[in-house]
Amino acid sequence: MTGISIAIDGPAGTGKSTVAREVARRLRLAYFDTGATYRVGTLWCMREGVDLSNESDVAAMVETMNVALVLDPRNPRVILEGEDVSSLIRADSIALTVSKVATNLEARAALGQWQRDVIASELEGGYSEGRGVVTEGRDITTVIAPDADVRILMTADEEVRVARRAGEGADVATVREAVLGRDRKDATVVEFHTAADGVVTLDTTDLTIEEAVDAVLTLVAAAREDESE
């Protein structure tokens, strides 16, 4: 019997990363932030001087980059060419540029296959020893893991999302562009504002992190109960 697959989508600032990590920690599952694959691809292309407007060159670079992912929810890490770049890929320069890779359909296809492989590996073994994985991103519930046991679209009001990110200590104007600007760009290649059939919408506008975590855990418990019947 393979492990459980939990898929969480949504725009930036909904709390999906924090919630997904905490759910994974409590259930002793792997935590997979697919956004990190686009970010590390962006960093790698920038370091190598690749023209991000050249779709084929970007796709070729992300297909051949040497990246290892540590899916421990207590300390998730991204290792590029042996270097821990977990903090570097969160820089404003990456946040404001990553959509050039995320909206590149060739690169997206390559990274999407990598993401599927990571999920499949965790369901059979990997960090979680087969217990399963919580995967979060933009198109996990619809494209990457449409057969996940639990599929959730997290939403929240725009101003709440911006305020949450700005509250992390960043410049408000930069945050607004990074959050809403990226949403607009990414929405040209993937739908992550409206839940697909079978996907549960979880509005976190008025929820604390603990309340959002509890809501996800309730859905997971229900899915496991259905499976056992």
Range 185-214 average pLDDT: 90
Asked whether residue 11 is marked as a ligand-binding residue, the answer is: yes
In the prediction, which pLDDT does 95 show? 87
Q: Is 46 exposed, middle or buried (0-12, 13-18, 19+ CB in 10 A)?
A: middle
Out of 26-40, 78-92, 130-144, 177-191, pick the least confident.
177-191
8 A C-beta contact, residue 201 and residue 195: yes
Higher pLDDT among residues 186 and 129, named by residue: 129
Asked whether residue 181 is marked as a ligand-binding residue, the answer is: no
In the prediction, which pLDDT does 169 show? 58
Out of 4-8, 59-63, 95-99, pick the least confident.
95-99
8 A C-beta contact, residue 34 and residue 176: no
Out of 78-82, 218-222, 223-227, pick the least confident.
223-227
Rounded Cα–Cα distance for residues 8 and 20 (Å): 7
8 A C-beta contact, residue 66 and residue 81: yes
Which among 15, 16, 11, 8 has a CA at the least distance from the CA of 164?
Answer: 15
The per-residue DSSP string of 122-135 comes to HHHSTTTTTSEEEE
Domains in the chain (CATH in brackets) are: 4-220 (3.40.50.300)
In the prediction, which pLDDT does 225 show? 84
- pLDDT above 90 as % of the chain: 76
The dihedral formed by the CA atoms of 56, 36, 205 and 198, expressed in degrees to the nearest 10: 70
Q: What is the pLDDT of residues 16-45, one digit of tens each?
A: 999 999 999 999 999 999 999 999 999 999
Starting at the edge strand found earlier in the chain, the sheet holding 67-70 runs 67-70, 77-80, 83-84
Place of tokens 């300390």: 75
Asked whether residue 18 is marked as a ligand-binding residue, the answer is: yes
Asked whether residue 185 is marked as a ligand-binding residue, the answer is: no
Rounded Cα–Cα distance for residues 169 and 179 (Å): 14
Beta bridge partners of 154: 202
Q: What is the DSSP letter of 87?
A: T
pTM assigned to the model: 0.91
Range 48-72 average pLDDT: 96
Asked whether residue 17 is marked as a ligand-binding residue, the answer is: yes
Asked whether residue 103 is marked as a ligand-binding residue, the answer is: no
